[in-house]
Structure 1
Amino acid sequence: MDSRTVALIRTTFKAVAAEEGGPEKLASSFYATLFTDYPHVRDFFPAAMDSQRDRLVKAISYTLDRLEEPNKLLPFLAQLGRDHRKYGVKPEHYVAVATSLKTAMRRFAGTEMWTDEVEQAWDDGLTVIAETMIGAADQEKTPAVWSGTVVESRSVLRNLTVVRLQLDKPMSYAAGQYMSVQVPSRPRMWRYLSPAVPANANCEIEFHIRSVLGGWVSPAIVGQTQLGETWLLGSPLGGLGVPRNTKRKMLMIGCGTGIAPLRAQIMSMAQRRTNPKVHLFVGGHYPCDLYDLETLSRLAVANKWLTVTPVAENDQNPWWYVDSGEPAPEFPGLEPRMTGQIGKIVAGFGSWADRDVQIVGSPSMVQTTKFRLMAAGTETKNIRHDPLF
C-alpha cells in the first residue's frame, strides 16, 4: 500500500477512536452488523462478547500501526490466518468481516470524512489483510487444531496452576511462541498461553496459568481443570526467540507467568553448543510469585552464560500466603533477590546497549518496562514483545 492509502486508513480510524466511547461503540456496531447481516458467523464467537470487543479494537490498532512495515505485518497476519483455521473459517467469512467493519467505520466517520477515496483506501487495506490470511491458511499443511490430554495439574499458589498435556500429535513450535487454547468448561472461549517447555519428541507441553480477577477462562483453568480432560490448541503464534548462531547478548524480563516463554527459550538454548550471554530478570509482586526459581537455579548452574536476577516489589509475602515454617530454600546460581519495580530496577543497570531485549508480562508491565528502558537509552528497535491484546 502507498503512503496515501495508509494515511487515510489511519486518520479515519483514529478520528473514530478518539471520540468519547469511540472504540467500544465501533466494536459494538461492528459485531451488531456482522451478526445481523451474517447470522451464521455468530457461532464462531463466545456467548459473552465483552473481552472480544476489546481485543478487536486493539488488534485493529496493532495492525494499522504496522501498515508501513510489511516485513513485520505480513508474517503476523499469516500466523493469524493459520491460527484461524481452528474456527473453520472460509474466504467468505473474511468478506463478511471486512464488509461489516467498513460499514461500522462509515457509520461513525460520517459522510464528510468518509469520501470515495477513503472507502477505496479501506477496501485496499482490508483486501491485503484478508488475502494474506487466506493465502497462509491455504498453504499450511499442519493440523488446524491439536488435542491435548491433561496428565498433570499442579497448584503452585492459590491463583496459579501448572498444567501438563500429552498432545495427540507432534506440534512444532519455536520456544517463545504462544498459542490459543480452549478448555472444556469454556467452549468457544480461546485464550492465549505460552508453553513453558520447548517442543519435544514426547509430544508433551506445559502451561503456567494465573487466575485473572474477573476473567472467564483463567479462573476456570485454575479451579476446575481435571486429569484426563481434553484441551484444544491452535497454531503457534508470535516471533519471540533467539536465533541460532546469534552473537548479540540477550536481556530477558518476565513477570509472573511471563517467565514461561522465556524459560522455554533458555531450555532450548541449553541444548546448543554455544550461546551468547543472557541476563534474565524474573519478577513478581511478592517473593512467593517467584514460583519457578528452582528450575531457573538448575539452568543457571548448568549454563554459565545465564545470569538470573529475581525481583519482588515487596519484601514480605501477602496475608493469604501460608508459610510452611521451614527455612527458606537456597537456590545456587541465582543473583541475590532485589526489591522494587522490575522495570525501574532493570533500567537502573544502564542502557543495555549491547543487548537484544525481550519483555513478557501483563500489557501494563510490558509498556512500563519498555518506556523505562527507552528512557535509559535502550534503542526501541532492540526491544521485542508480543502484541498487547
Structure 2
Amino acid sequence: MADPIFDDRTLRRVRATYKDMAARPDWDSHLAQSFYANLFAENPQLRLLFPANLEAQTHRMLTAIRYVLDNVEQPDRMLTFLGQLGRDHRKYGVAREHYEAGGRALLQSLRGSLVTLLWTPTVDAAWSEVVGTIVGTMADASDEEELPAFWDATVVAHERRLDDLAIVRLEIDEPMPYYAGQYVSVQIPQRQGLWRYYSPAIPSNPFGQIEFHVRRVPSGWVSPAIVSETQVGDRWRIGAPLGALAVDLDANRDVLMIAQGTGLAPLRAQIMDMAMRGTNPRVHLFVGGVYPRDLYDLETLWHLAMSNPWLTVVPVAEHDEDPWWNTTPPAEVPPGLHQRLHGPIGKVVASFGSWADRQIQISGSPSMVKTTLYALRAAGTPPDVVSHDPLF
C-alpha cells in the first residue's frame, strides 16, 4: 500500500466539511452548477470543449468527485483512478492549463458550498491541497502518456440478442492494450461528440478485436442508437482504458463475481482471460436478470464452466418465469451445472453467507451495485474485500 498523501489534520478537515456538504439536499447538483458557472465565466473559450447538453457530463463529473473523496484515504485507488481519468481526457484536447482552470473553479465552488464560519483558512488550505493533488495527478498522467488519446475501429458484427440488447464486435485499426475488467469510452458516428463508457466483454488480443454488450437505456442518447442504428462498417472511436477490476492471482483467495445484465461484460472478459492460464482460484459467478430471458449469454458461460472446473456459474432471475409475450423458451441447463435461482441477486448471494474469505467484484447498474453492497454488508461481508467501478 502507498504511503499516505495527506496528513491527519488535512484528512480530518476534508472529511468533516465533505460530510457537512453531502448532508445538504442536492449539494452535488449545486456544486456542479457553480463549477460550470465559475469555469466558463473565467474561461469562456472552454465551453467549446464540452457538449451542448451538460447533463451526462455533469453526472460523470460528480461521480468522479464523489469517488475521489470517498477514497481520499486510500492513495493507491485514488491515484490510479485520477491517472486513468487524466489519460482519458486527452481525447477532448484537455491540456494542463485547462486542469488548472478547473481546479480554481472547483475550489471557488467548494468555498461557496459551506457557510462562511465553517470555511476557515485551515479548511481552505486542506481543500487546496486535495484539489491541487487531483489537478496535478491528472495533468501529469496526461503529459506522461505515450499511447494514443483514442483508437479508431470498424464495426464487423452487430447482433440483436434481445429486442433492447445488442452485441457489437469491432476491429481496431491498431490493437489497443487494456486489461480484462477495464472499461473504455466510445463515440459512435450517429452521436458525434457524445462519449459513453462500456466494458469490453473479451480480453485484449493482438488482432485488435473487441466486443461490447450494450443495453438500451430508454432515456439515453447513445445506447438506443447503438442497439437500433449501428451497422456493419460504422467507424467508432474508442478512448483510453480505465478501471481497476482484476483478480489478484497472488492473493491465495477464491473469487466471487456478481453481475447483473450487461454488467456481465468485464467479469466475462476476466474469466476468459483466466481460462487461458494453467492454474486459477475458484470462481463463483452469480449472473442475474429481471427475467430468465435477460440471462442473454448463459450458453457462453456454460461452455466456459464445462471446460474450466474452477468456475461455477449460478444464474439468478428476479422472476421465475418470463413475461407472457416472450415466446423463446429458456435454454436447458446442461447436466451437472447449477440450476437457476430466483430473487434479487444481492439477496440471493447474501443468503449463502458473508463470503468474507473471497475477492469480490460487483458489476451492474448503480442501483444494483448499491443494493448488493447493502445485502453483503448486512450478511457480514467486510467492505475492503469488495471491488466495483465508479458508479457512472
Q: TM-score category by the smaller chain?
A: over 0.9
1:294 corresponds to which letter in structure 2? E
Separation (CA, whole Å) in 2 of partners of 1:188 and 1:40? 17
Q: Map 1:72-87 to 2 at 5 A.
A: 72-87=77-92
The residue number in structure 1 matching 2:346 is: 343
Contact 2:176 2:204 in 1 (8 A): yes
Partner SS, residue 156 of structure 1: strand
Change (3 A) 1:51 1:374: same
Separation (CA, whole Å) in 1 of partners of 2:190 and 2:144? 32
Contact 1:180 1:235 in 2 (8 A): yes
1:201 corresponds to which letter in structure 2? P
Change (3 A) 1:333 1:207: farther
Paired residue total: 387
Contact 2:247 2:359 in 1 (8 A): no
Separation (CA, whole Å) in 1 of partners of 2:141 and 2:332? 49
Separation (CA, whole Å) in 1 of partners of 2:357 and 2:116? 51
Match of 2:383 among 348, 365, 380: 380
The residue number in structure 2 matching 1:239 is: 244
2:205 corresponds to which letter in structure 1? N
Separation (CA, whole Å) in 1 of partners of 2:94 and 2:204? 27
Q: Map 1:279-294 to 2 at 5 A.
A: 279-294=284-299
Contact 1:164 1:205 in 2 (8 A): yes
Separation (CA, whole Å) in 1 of partners of 2:143 and 2:160? 40
TM-score (norm 2): 0.94
Q: Map 1:148-297 to 2 at 5 A.
A: 148-297=153-302
Change (3 A) 1:272 1:245: farther
Contact 2:165 2:213 in 1 (8 A): yes
Mean Cα deviation higher: 251-260 or 131-140: 131-140
Q: How big is the alpha-carbon RMSD for the aligned residues of Structure 1 and Structure 2?
A: 1.7
Contact 1:246 1:276 in 2 (8 A): no
Contact 1:297 1:333 in 2 (8 A): no
The residue number in structure 2 matching 1:31 is: 36
Separation (CA, whole Å) in 1 of partners of 2:135 and 2:373? 31
Are 2:382 and 1:367 equivalent residues in the alignment?
no
1:163 Cα deviation from its structure 2 partner? 0.4
Separation (CA, whole Å) in 2 of partners of 1:320 and 1:124? 57
TM-score (norm 1): 0.95
Mean Cα deviation higher: 36-45 or 151-160: 36-45
Contact 2:91 2:239 in 1 (8 A): yes
Separation (CA, whole Å) in 2 of partners of 1:95 and 1:234? 22
Change (3 A) 1:305 1:165: same
The residue number in structure 2 matching 1:7 is: 12
Match of 1:104 among 82, 103, 109: 109
Are 2:357 and 1:354 equivalent residues in the alignment?
yes
The residue number in structure 1 matching 2:53 is: 48
Separation (CA, whole Å) in 2 of partners of 1:4 and 1:188? 42
Change (3 A) 1:254 1:27: same
Partner SS, residue 84 of structure 2: helix
- Unaligned segments of structure 2, at least 5 residues: 1-5
Change (3 A) 1:238 1:328: closer
Separation (CA, whole Å) in 2 of partners of 1:327 and 1:19? 47
